[in-house]
Amino acid sequence: MSAKPDLKIVLCSPRGFCAGVVRAIDTVERALDKYGAPVYVRHEIVHNKYVVDGLKKKGAIFVEELAEIPENTTAPVVFSAHGVPKSVPADAQSRNLFSLDATCPLVTKVHREAAIHFKRGREIFLIGHSHHPEVVGTLGQLPVGAVTLIETAEDAKTINPKDPNNLAFVTQTTLSIDDTAEIVALLKERFPNINGPHKEDICYATTNRQLAVKKVAPVVDALIVVGAPNSSNSQRLREVAEREGCRIAVLAQRATDIDWTKFGNIASLGITAGASAPEVIVEEIMDAFAERYTLHVETVSAAEENEFFPLPRQVRPEAAAE
């Protein structure tokens, strides 16, 4: 039996679950523990099939709209980490549904910023990707027409506001740092008085994971991003790797997704994971490579993370004692 070739694995740090994702998953699991199955969840709690399938096995039922939930149910209804339009909690209340809001606090921050700009009479630009649930939720915080979506640098060059001196912008939290910086620079160049967030809307987890990939991508032959195709932050990690010169940069939800023909002649491999991807899949993918190569593993770190977001009050452990 011939010896397996050597492969240097460079793990990006931080990677995987962020505090908002941990909070959202914990909200569903605590609700199942406290109230029993079923627990309804509007939209995928986070964009990861492994996580969603695991919660389904425990009794979570995922729906796209509240209309799919039976009348007169007493089961909890959880709103996903991406946030929802204002019409959704209003609909839940009108139906007397018991709702739990697992919206990431950093998304809620963007909602509040948009509301403040609206109260101050400003025309609002939202930098983001249309149809992404976070963008749908942010647009739905305000009346139709109050927010204009900007998806590309070209949009920023051509947008014509009613009053160039009374503008504000907010952004989706999971965008490419570099793409967003380019769009913001264009807006500020065209509209010097535009109001932006006091602190960046792109969340700490998105930023840190992209910085780690920027460090690793130029020094490896290939890079795998563990994440789902509909995960914005995971797709951005793959794009960052490509921009940094990594010739093979792919997204994989599970080890079974790997196209081994692409990895035949590599000596080094970077691995990261989007903010909604569990570490167990990183380990699964490393195990798959270990069957073919002798691994030599190191970690490259871009930042330390210790953020924590408290659970919704109804499912906090202390709520039972109150």
Q: Is 246 annotated as a binding residue?
A: no
CA 42, distance to chain mean position in Å, is: 16
Q: Name the catalytic one among 29, 134, 239, 318.
A: 134
* SS3 of 35-58: HCCCEEEECCCCCCHHHHHHHHHH
d(C-alpha 89, C-alpha 43), whole Å: 14
Q: Is 94 annotated as a binding residue?
A: no
Where does the pLDDT of residue 28 fall: very low under 50, low under 70, confident under 90, or very high at 90 and above?
Answer: very high
Mean pLDDT of 205-228: 97
Q: Is 198 annotated as a binding residue?
A: no
Name the β-bridge partners of 8: 268, 296
* Average predicted confidence (pLDDT) for the chain: 95
Where does the pLDDT of residue 9 fall: very low under 50, low under 70, confident under 90, or very high at 90 and above?
Answer: very high
pLDDT value at residue 3? 84
Name the β-bridge partners of 76: 98
Q: Centre a 10 Å sphere on the Cβ of residue 177 and count the other Cβ atoms it contains.
A: 16
Q: Is 18 annotated as a binding residue?
A: yes
Give residue-wise pLDDT tens across range 105-133: 999 999 999 999 999 999 999 999 999 99
pLDDT value at residue 199? 79
Mean pLDDT of 83-89: 97
Give residue-wise pLDDT tens across range 55-81: 999 999 999 999 999 999 999 999 999
pLDDT value at residue 321? 44
Q: In which element (H, E) is residue 167 found?
A: strand 167-171
Mean pLDDT of 147-162: 97
Delineate the domains of the chain, giving CATH numbers in brackets: 6-17+204-301 (3.40.1010.20), 19-104 (3.40.50.11270), 106-190 (3.40.1010.20)
Is 134 one of the annotated active-site residues of the chain?
A: yes
Mean pLDDT of 165-184: 96
Specify burial of residue 156 (Cβ count, 10 A radius: 0-12, 13-18, 19+).
buried
pLDDT value at residue 1? 53
Q: Is 233 annotated as a binding residue?
A: yes
Q: Centre a 10 Å sphere on the Cβ of residue 112 and count the other Cβ atoms it contains.
A: 12
pLDDT value at residue 200? 84
Residue pair 150/159 in contact (Cβ under 8 Å)? The answer is yes
Q: Indicate the pTM of the whole model.
A: 0.93
Checking if the pLDDT of 320 tops 60, the result is: no
Q: Is 87 annotated as a binding residue?
A: no
Residue pair 153/123 in contact (Cβ under 8 Å)? The answer is no
Give residue-wise pLDDT tens across range 238-274: 999 999 999 999 999 999 999 999 998 899 999 999 9
Checking if the pLDDT of 44 tops 60, the result is: yes
Cis bond leading into 192, ω under 30°? no
Where does the pLDDT of residue 311 fall: very low under 50, low under 70, confident under 90, or very high at 90 and above?
Answer: very high
3-state helix, strand, coil in the chain (%, to 5): 40, 20, 40
Specify the range with the lowest mean pLDDT, choosing from 22-26, 71-75, 195-199: 195-199
Residues belonging to the chain: 322
pLDDT value at residue 198? 79
Q: In which element (H, E) is residue 284 found?
A: helix 279-290
Q: Is 232 annotated as a binding residue?
A: yes
Helix 177-190 and helix 204-216: axis angle, to 10°?
120
- The residues, ordered by sequence, that sit 6+ positions from 93 with a Cβ below 8 Å of its Cβ are 99
Residue pair 267/294 in contact (Cβ under 8 Å)? The answer is no
Checking if the pLDDT of 317 tops 90, the result is: no
Residue pair 144/152 in contact (Cβ under 8 Å)? The answer is no
Mean pLDDT of 277-301: 97
pLDDT value at residue 2? 63
